[in-house]
Amino acid sequence: MLLKNIYNEFIKILAKPRSYIGIGALTLLICIILFAMKADGSSFISFVTSSFEQTLSFNGTILNGNLIAFIILQMLIVHIPLLVALVTGDLISGEAAMGTVRMLATKPISRTKIVISKFIAGAVYTFILTLWLIFLSLFVSKFIFGSGDLIVLNSEGLVILKEQDILWRYGLSFIVAFLSLLTVSSVSICFSAFAENSIGPIVSTMAVIILFTIIGSMDVSVFQNIKPFLFTTHMASWRSFFEDPVPYSKIFNSIIILVVHNVLLVSIAIIKFNKKDITS
Amino acid sequence: MSEEVIKVEKLAKNFGSFEAVRDVSFTVNKGDVFGFLGPNGAGKSTTIRCLLSLIRLNAGTIQMFGKSYATHRYEILSKIGSIIEKPDFYNYLSAQKNLEIFARISGATVSTKEIHEMLEFVGLGGRGKDKTKGFSHGMKQRLGIAQTLLHKPELIILDEPTTGLDPQGIIEIRNLILRLKNEQNKTILLSSHQLSEIELIANRMVIITKGKSLVEGNVQELLNAQELTVRLELSDVNKAIPLIQQHFANVEITRINEVEISLSIEKKQVSHLNKMLGENNILVYALEPKRKLEDFFMKIVQS
């Protein structure tokens, strides 16, 4: 029954016009960035590298597909949560708003399975969105700009990664980026279990992300204790794969925090949906 | 003894401090078309939602097919088809896709052919590929009934199935319910404001008001136990009134106009009344029983 309902949820997601807004917006944004980089990427790069030019000399093509992909991921990973929440925030509350939750809840399937099937369908949608982001940013960028070594500027300075040392880093960072977005999906599904309309969970999810991000970025001692436990703190962990050496323990810690968030949030959604009187 | 399909005992449900249902009990037997009557706000929809496990009870018990939801939820819901208030569908999907979605989780295997046949059965034969967004209320109601019947349930629960339908739609739904009872021997619980509908198709009923069940039983037996209200159109009302009072003790007569009166008498006395008026040269142009259930319902609810 769970598999049948997961299939049902896929059909619903595929049939909803809003599911394509995310993919469309992502494609458009990446095309705009690629166009901008193609048109004036060298001046953008020289602005970043100018501070190092007195101490370092750069040979080869810095502006390559690997760098463009990194720039795109850095720019968009902040905005994609909205595109994820747009679909996943509607999964439970959309049924209440439409009235179909009555029909669904009177079928011989447990409410727990209803929430789990929605979570799985939302996870697959998030996976596809993340995959599409990686495909467009990495493979299309490489096709247009060619390949080469990757120069990454982080808090500890400049990291230069060899061309043959990059693809696996993108592969692993994709997994962590997906886990981050899956947490966003879980947040919105959790809000969705409490709401009776589609907009509330989407707005609430974004509000939480903004709030937690602000708390995380403030250098105030009172927030330092909670900062390591906020999921937003770990949403940028995918970037750690582009450090040398890779801080695996830090990444593993982030993965644990994100997984715990997912389990907790989905559990809350299940408990709430099971206890809910369906009066809509 | 009849097999009990639904047994509700002392059901109570509060929403905060509001007592939606406080003491509802009734039994629906296999093969019944059971009328579930009550004025607006009586607690009918809340009771039906409890029957379908959509909301939790605060007190009382519900047994469906002799079993409880706590231990046999899957089994019970597999045997029920329902429409609660208005049927709602995924308006971005076609009628056929909607039925496929609900069929897939109905606990039965339903083929595409059966879905097509069901659409034909409810008069939506050519509209399967159309999105439900463009469907009228009547079409959605018919699609709702298709969804209800798709997995061949033993018990059908219909909450106000004729609300918002035009007269033809009401007749169609009524005929459909009668077909389900007569041809397929389904047990049907029918909540409706249309008292005439209940009178025409239900064999048993319960009346609830203010969250409490007041009367339960066989429709005809309950109605026959009551006095019959008849409207008479006569050639001479002034002469008829004292004659009726003389022949029928304690009868209350209401003069409607110069040629019409109404009175309540026992059913077996109606022929005697007609005969007496004729013997006294009073012509009876019309003798019409008023809607019995309406009177009965009003009497119970107002009491």
Give the nearest chain B residue to A95 (CA atoms).
B90
Q: What is the mean pLDDT of residues A152-175?
A: 84
pTM above 0.95, yes or no: no
Q: Please judge whether B55 and A279 are an interchain contact, meaning their C-beta atoms are less than 8 angstroms apart.
A: yes
Measured in angstroms, the CA of B101 and the nearest CA of chain A are apart by 6
Nearby residues of A195 by Cβ (< 8 Å), 6 or more positions away: A92, A93, A96, A201, A204
Residue range A228-257: mean pLDDT, rounded:
90
CB-based contact A125:A10 (threshold 8 Å)? no
Q: Does B52 contact A at CB distance below 8 Å?
A: yes
Q: Report how far residue B258's alpha carbon sits from residue B260's, in angstroms, rounded to the nearest whole number.
A: 6
Q: Cα separation of B222 and B293, whole Å?
A: 9
Cα(B44)–Cα(B37) distance, integer angstroms: 7
Q: Model confidence over A41-52: pLDDT tens digits?
A: 777 777 666 666
- Nearest-by-Cβ selection for A278 from B54, B105, B147: B54
Note the pLDDT of residue A66.
86
Q: What is the pLDDT of residue B174?
A: 82
Strand pairing of B33-37 and B204-209? parallel
In this model, does residue A78 exceed pLDDT 80? Answer: no
A106 closest CB neighbour out of B54, B91, B97? B54
Of B52, B76, B88, the CB nearest to A98: B88
pLDDT at A48 (0 to 100)? 67
The Cα A39–Cα A32 span in angstroms is: 10
CA distances from A246 to A151, A237, A243, A251 (A): 15, 11, 5, 9
- Longest C-alpha distance within chain A, in Å? 72
Using an 8 Å CB-CB cutoff, list chain A residues near B78.
108
* Residue B210 CB contacts under 8 Å (≥ 6 apart), including other chains: B22, B42, B43
Q: Which residues pair with B59 in a beta bridge?
A: B12
Residues A91 and A154: their CA atoms lie apart, in Å, by: 38
Instruction: Return the domain boundaries, chain B.
Output: 4-217, 226-302
Checking if the pLDDT of A77 tops 90, the result is: no
Size of interface A-B (CB pairs under 8 A): 81
How many Å apart are CA A111 and CA B141, to the nearest integer?
25
Which chain B residues contact residue A100 at CB under 8 A?
88-90
The pLDDT of A15-21, averaged and rounded, is: 89
Measured between CA atoms, how close is B189 to chain A, in angstroms?
A: 15
Token pair of A137 as six digits: 């940013």
- Find chain A residues with C-beta within 8 A of B75's C-beta: 108
> What number is the average pLDDT over the span A267-277?
94
Which of B117, B83, B89 has the alpha carbon at shortest distance from B101? B89
A99, A104, A278: residue with CB nearest B49: A278
* Distance (Å, whole) CA A183 – CA A260: 9
- As a whole number of angstroms, the distance between CA A147 and CA B286 comes to 98
Distance between CA atoms of B71 and B66, rounded to whole angstroms?
Answer: 11
pLDDT of residue A185: 95
Contacts of A98 in chain B (CB under 8 A): 88, 90-91
Classify domain B4-217 at the CATH topology level.
Answer: Rossmann fold (3.40.50)
A17 to chain B: which residues are within 8 Å by CB?
A: 92
> Taking 90 as the threshold, does the pLDDT of residue A257 lie above it?
yes
Q: What is the mean pLDDT of chain A?
A: 88
Q: What is residue B1's predicted lDDT score, i.e. its pLDDT?
A: 58
Residue B188 distance to chain A (closest CA, Å) = 16
Range scoring the smallest mean pLDDT among A72-81, A86-95, B56-65: A72-81
Domain ranges, ordered by start, for chain A:
2-275
Q: List, for chain B, all residue ranges whose pLDDT scores fall below the cut of 70.
A: 1, 225-227, 291-292, 303
Determine whether the interchain pair A107/B56 forms a contact, defined as Cβ–Cβ distance below 8 Å. no
Q: Nearest Cβ partner of A103 from B56, B91, B147?
A: B147
Q: Which residue of A has its CA nearest to B151?
A: A107
Q: Do A15 and B102 touch (CB under 8 A)?
A: no
Chain A partners within 8 Å of B56 (Cβ): 275, 277
| Nearest by Cα to B52 from A4, A108, A96 | A108
Nearest-Cα distance to chain A for B13, in Å, is 11
Fold for domain B226-302?
Answer: Alpha-Beta Plaits (3.30.70)
Which of A4, A100, A110 minimises the CB distance to B88?
A100
CB-facing half-sphere around the CA of A3: CA atoms within 13 A: 0
